[in-house]
Structure 1
């Protein structure tokens, strides 16, 4: 995922990841956001026992934020 991010940033330098706010982009998976602390604690306890994990990624989605929520703009299939 790190290399994919680098390639995309090289291809479209006028649109850097996170608007260029970070010098290094660390790939991550957001599982939950904005829930109460109790809910987040429960999710963390459930997930910790499953890490690390491996997965195949058949596609990536371009997400855009409209000021209120994130929406998928387009999906790109990846080659195997």
Structure 2
């Protein structure tokens, strides 16, 4: 299991600060985990994923084929102003 934490616009689209996703599936990738998230605003969430950066156990990536095998935390970081 991997904890996904959502920030700023991602938090608004998903409707929660964090969730746990099952990464023991046949395809333990970032993309599969993102698709498994149940969002409060699914259309916004789908569109937003293309613009986000992701911290996978503290390492920045935009590659959604990144394996989450053994990963504890993914931070979903949409673009934001002022920082």
Whether TM-score is above 0.5 comes out as: no
Structure having greater relative contact order (Cα 8 Å, sep ≥ 6):
2
TM-score between the two structures when normalised by the length of structure 1 = 0.27
Q: Compare the two structures and name the one with the higher strand fraction.
A: 2
TM-score between the two structures when normalised by the length of structure 2 = 0.26
